[in-house]
């Protein structure tokens, strides 16, 4: 079973989403724009410590859903 990294969503002042992926090994928070992740699902992402922090297509879809809910709650 593939490890599912802990993720969080940040929105900037223009409501563009950034996915924050916490590394299981070192705890470093890695930031990636959701748009770039959605263009290439299942791309290989690596933390600075060398650990695999890749997100699958399902995790990206869940993140997009969370962003949609956040934008709706902000009235955007």
In a domain, 59, yes or no: yes
The pTM assigned to this predicted structure is 0.81
pLDDT digit string (tens) for 6-15? 889 999 999 8
Give the number of domains in the chain.
Answer: 1
In a domain, 51, yes or no: yes
14-18 contact pairs (CB < 8 A, 24+): 15/71, 15/74, 15/76, 17/63, 17/64, 17/67
Full domain range(s) for residue 53:
6-71
Q: How confident is the model at residue 1 (pLDDT cuts 50, 70, 90)?
A: very low
On the question of pLDDT at 76 being above 80, the answer is no
pLDDT digit string (tens) for 53-69? 988 888 889 999 999 99
In a domain, 76, yes or no: no
């Amino acid at each position: 079973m593939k490890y599912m990294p802990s993720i969080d969503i940040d929105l900037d002042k223009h409501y563009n989403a950034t996915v924050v992926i916490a590394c299981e090994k070192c705890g470093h928070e890695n930031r990636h724009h959701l748009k770039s992740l959605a263009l290439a699902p299942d791309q290989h992402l690596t933390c600075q410590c060398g650990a695999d922090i890749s997100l699958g297509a399902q995790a990206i879809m869940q993140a997009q859903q969370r962003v949609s809910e956040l934008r709706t709650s902000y009235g955007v």
